[in-house]
């Protein structure tokens, strides 16, 4: 098979961008939290898996379609994130990054192992959206679940971007991200904004988890793989930078698609890590971005 045909390249690119949109949704949430409170949340992947199991439960118990489970999971995860921030994360805001890494590492271990205890290590999926569409004009095959997951991710990420840019709360979030003390002086309830931010990030992770159920099989341990990819993405895109995470996500999706197309899917799994290491070698200083200024 000649892999350099335009049709195949297009196929790989579209597939990569759709997968990348899901990464972008997940990574933007992680980066939002980092931007606002300088906390690196190692439990972000487990929050995604919480959304995935919620969608799986709603589907297998009530037969609820993942697209209908989406708002439910987002609300539940928002509330979970809101109170996680209040009870746990708020205590480590302003402490050194090591402390936040260790506490969220502990949190991810708890969530993952409680997940294993309750759901076992079996892989699951939600077979709700299936099949593929053939677009004749472009000579392109689109897998339905991947297309839906990609489009939902793009819409949600764009929605959050719009929210941050134009809503009153969104502006407050950006203000706290830029300078918490000045924001406080301006009358912003910084503690509440942090709770909203963590809730929002958790809701985004939950949404990514719901969409994940339709395209991958997952287990409680899947979160760890994704969180590593997210770190590669935010290091590439710039830590704390929302748009950077979006671009980094799309880039990783594309890179993985082409590597799995030309080499193998096993190598594609290593792409995120290779990219991370490569960026760390080539531009270590430039990557510190906002983290250094803090």
- Lookup result for tokens 């049709």: 7
Vertex 16: Cα angle to 14 and 20 (nearest 5)? 120
How many Cα atoms are found within 13 Å in the side-chain-facing hemisphere of 74?
A: 19
In whole angstroms, how close is the CB of 148 to another protein at the nearest point? 29
Given a contact cutoff of 8 angstroms between Cβ atoms, the answer to whether 235 and 291 are in contact is no
Interaction between residue 246 and another protein (CB under 8 A):
no
Closer residue to another protein (CB): 202 or 275: 275
In whole angstroms, how close is the CB of 275 to another protein at the nearest point? 11
Interaction between residue 102 and another protein (CB under 8 A):
yes
Given a contact cutoff of 8 angstroms between Cβ atoms, the answer to whether 272 and 228 are in contact is yes
Tokens of residue 154, six digits: 């793009």
Give 3's DSSP letter. Answer: T
Per CB under 8 A, the segment of 18-26, 175-183, 201-209, 270-278 that binds another protein is: 270-278
Helix crossing, 222-237 with 97-119: angle to 10°? 150
How many whole angstroms separate alpha carbon 224 and alpha carbon 105? 11
Strands (E) located in 71-224: 132-135, 140-143
Q: Which residues contact 291 (CB under 8 A, 6 or more apart)?
A: 34, 38, 239, 240
Interaction between residue 5 and another protein (CB under 8 A):
no
Instruction: Identify residues 39-68 at the interface with another protein (CB under 8 A).
Output: 40, 42
Q: Which of 71, 132, 273, 286 binds another protein (CB under 8 A)?
A: 273
Per CB under 8 A, the segment of 4-12, 20-28, 110-118, 210-218 that binds another protein is: 110-118
Instruction: Sketch the per residue contact string, 192 through 231, with another protein: x for CB under 8 A, - otherwise.
Output: --------------------------------xx--x--x
In whole angstroms, how close is the CB of 266 to another protein at the nearest point? 6
Helix (H) or strand (E) holding 243: helix 242-262
Interaction between residue 90 and another protein (CB under 8 A):
no
Where on the chain is the footprint of another protein (CB under 8 A)?
Answer: 40, 42, 88, 91-92, 97-99, 101-103, 105-110, 112-114, 116-117, 224-225, 228, 231, 235, 266, 269-270, 272-273, 276-277, 280-281, 284, 287-288, 291-292
């Amino acid at each position: 098979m000649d892999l350099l045909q335009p049709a195949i390249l297009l196929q790989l690119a579209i597939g990569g961008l759709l997968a990348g949109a899901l990464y972008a949704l997940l990574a933007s949430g992680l980066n939002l939290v980092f931007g606002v409170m300088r906390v690196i949340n190692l439990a972000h992947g487990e929050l995604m898996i919480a959304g995935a199991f919620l969608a799986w439960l709603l589907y297998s118990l009530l037969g609820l379609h993942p697209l209908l489970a989406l708002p439910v999971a987002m609300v539940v995860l928002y509330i979970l994130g809101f109170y996680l921030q209040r009870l746990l994360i708020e205590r480590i805001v302003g402490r050194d990054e090591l402390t936040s890494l260790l506490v969220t590492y502990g949190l991810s271990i708890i969530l993952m192992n409680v997940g294993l205890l309750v759901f076992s290590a079996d892989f699951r999926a939600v077979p709700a959206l299936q099949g593929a569409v053939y677009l004749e004009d472009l000579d392109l095959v689109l897998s339905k679940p991947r297309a839906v997951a990609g489009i939902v991710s793009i819409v949600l990420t764009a929605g959050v971007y719009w929210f941050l840019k134009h809503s009153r709360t969104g502006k407050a979030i950006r203000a706290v991200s830029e300078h918490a003390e000045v924001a406080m002086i301006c009358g912003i309830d910084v503690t509440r904004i942090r709770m909203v931010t963590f809730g929002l990030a958790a809701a985004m992770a939950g949404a990514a988890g719901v969409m994940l159920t339709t395209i991958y099989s997952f287990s409680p341990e899947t979160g760890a793989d994704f969180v590593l990819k997210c770190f590669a993405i935010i290091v590439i895109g710039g830590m704390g930078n929302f748009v950077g995470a979006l671009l980094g996500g799309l880039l990783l999706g594309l890179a993985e698609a082409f590597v799995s197309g030309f080499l193998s899917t096993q190598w594609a799994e290593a792409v995120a890590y290779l990219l991370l290491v490569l960026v760390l070698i080539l531009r270590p200083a430039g990557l510190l971005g906002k983290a250094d200024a803090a």
